[in-house]
């Protein structure tokens, strides 16, 4: 089985702060990490590898320093790593990103492509599904569990109501939830070897697309403004029993014309 996992390096938003004046992220001193859902996706791939045997390739689009998460992927058990990098790719929104990654994936063989559900920094959850569309692949998003049986993937998809169990044959694209796949730690021998392994660096020549479809030029959206939400007024605390609470909530909702 050949599996490709799309991963992204993101600032660790659990420690990030936003400049209240400019509305931009303060990135100084903020560690970069492998996006948690992508790490869950890599774990999904490595579990398939452990159980059934598989060749796991990780690919990331980003600046040269994104090499760090590829080394981490090697230390977790990935077999091959590709860094898709170049000035032409800079400033890409989800559309240009998905075009670029999909075009790069055409150089590879795969039975399964895995992406994380969404990235901590953008939170769009768009890139994985868009890649599937560009490649004409079936896709299942929000995957919280996976089995492989008789040549088919049995997929547990999380929905707002519960789970759907779906069966699909490869090639297929799945987007993974970090909560469904507790990522393993890097192992020590893997860490020792991680920097001796080759990382394939792919530039624009590996992407058979017109330059207008890449980077900022290929992006359908522009960031107009970013800002932090204002602080809400302090709430009210009422210490009442359940029955009184119901009455109170109903009256408050009526007051605001919500009901």
Partner 1 sequence: MNFGLTKSQQLFQQMIREFAEKEVKPLAAEVDDTERFPMETVEKMAKLGLFGIYIPKNYGGAGGDHIMYSIAVEELSRVCATTGVILSAHTSLCMSPIWEFGTEEQKQKYLPKLASGEWIGAFGLTEPNAGTDAAGQQTTAVEDGDDYIINGSKIFITNAGPAHVYVVATMTDKSLGNKGITTFIVEAGTPGFSIGKKEHKLGIRGSATCELIFENCRVPKTNMLGKMGEGFKVAMKTLDGGRIGIASQALGIAQGAMDETVKYTKERKQFGRSISAFQNTQFQMADLETKVQAARLLVRQAAWKQDQHMPFSADAAMGKLFAAETAMEVTTKAVQFHGGYGYTREYPVERMMRDAKITEIYEGTSEVQRMVIAAKLFK
Question: Under a CB-based contact definition with an 8 Å cutoff, are residues 73 and 41 in contact?
Answer: no
**Strand pairing class (172-176; 139-149):** parallel
- Residue number, 56 or 194, with CB nearest to partner 1: 194
- Residue number, 192 or 253, with CB nearest to partner 1: 192
The 3-state DSSP class for residue 41 equals helix
**Strand pairing class (152-158; 163-169):** antiparallel
| Residue 10 in contact with partner 1, rule: CB under 8 A | no
- Residue number, 40 or 129, with CB nearest to partner 1: 40
For residue 172, the cross-strand partners are: 112
| Residue 198 in contact with partner 1, rule: CB under 8 A | no
| Residue 201 in contact with partner 1, rule: CB under 8 A | no
Q: What separation in angstroms does the CA of 83 have from each of 36, 42, 67, 200, 201?
A: 19, 16, 7, 6, 5
> Exactly one of 107, 187, 221, 226 binds partner 1 (CB under 8 A); which one?
187
The 3-state DSSP class for residue 188 equals helix
| Residue 195 in contact with partner 1, rule: CB under 8 A | yes
Question: Under a CB-based contact definition with an 8 Å cutoff, are residues 202 and 83 in contact?
Answer: yes
Site for partner 1 in 73-102 (CB under 8 A): 75
Tokens of 158: 């999380």
Tokens of 15: 């420690």
Question: How many other CB atoms are there within 10 angstroms of residue 50's CB atom?
Answer: 11
Site for partner 1 in 49-68 (CB under 8 A): 68
| Residue 188 in contact with partner 1, rule: CB under 8 A | yes
- Residue number, 195 or 227, with CB nearest to partner 1: 195
Give the x/- contact pattern for partner 1 in 202-221, rule: CB under 8 A: --------------------
> Exactly one of 1, 18, 191, 201 binds partner 1 (CB under 8 A); which one?
191
Smallest gap from residue 117 Cβ to partner 1 (A): 21
Smallest gap from residue 77 Cβ to partner 1 (A): 12
Q: How far is CA 196 from the centre of its chain?
A: 27
Residues that bind partner 1 (CB under 8 A): 68, 71-72, 75, 185-189, 191-195
């Amino acid at each position: 089985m050949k599996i490709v996992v799309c991963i992204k390096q993101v600032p660790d938003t659990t420690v990030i702060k936003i400049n209240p004046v400019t509305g931009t992220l303060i990135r100084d001193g903020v560690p970069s990490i492998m996006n948690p859902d992508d790490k869950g996706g890599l774990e999904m791939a490595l579990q398939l590898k452990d159980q059934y045997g598989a060749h796991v390739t990780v690919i990331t689009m980003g600046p040269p320093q994104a090499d760090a998460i590829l080394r981490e992927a090697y230390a977790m058990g990935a077999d091959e790593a590709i860094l898709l990098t170049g000035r032409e790719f800079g400033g890409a929104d989800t559309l240009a990103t998905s075009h670029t990654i999909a075009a790069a994936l055409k150089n590879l063989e795969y039975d399964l492509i895995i992406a994380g559900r969404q990235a901590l920094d953008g939170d769009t959850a768009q890139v994985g599904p868009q890649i599937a569309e560009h490649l004409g692949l079936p896709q299942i998003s929000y995957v919280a569990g996976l089995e492989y049986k008789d040549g088919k993937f049995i997929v547990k998809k999380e929905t707002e109501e519960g789970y759907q169990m779906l069966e699909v044959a490869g090639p297929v694209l799945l987007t993974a939830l970090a909560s469904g796949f507790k990522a393993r730690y890097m192992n020590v021998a893997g860490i020792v070897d991680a920097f001796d392994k080759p990382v394939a660096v792919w530039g624009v020549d590996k992407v058979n697309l017109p330059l207008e479809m890449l980077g900022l030029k290929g992006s359908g959206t522009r960031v107009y403004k970013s800002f932090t939400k204002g602080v809400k007024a302090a709430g009210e605390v009422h210490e009442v029993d359940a029955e009184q609470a119901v009455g109170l909530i109903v009256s408050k909702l009526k007051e605001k014309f919500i009901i």
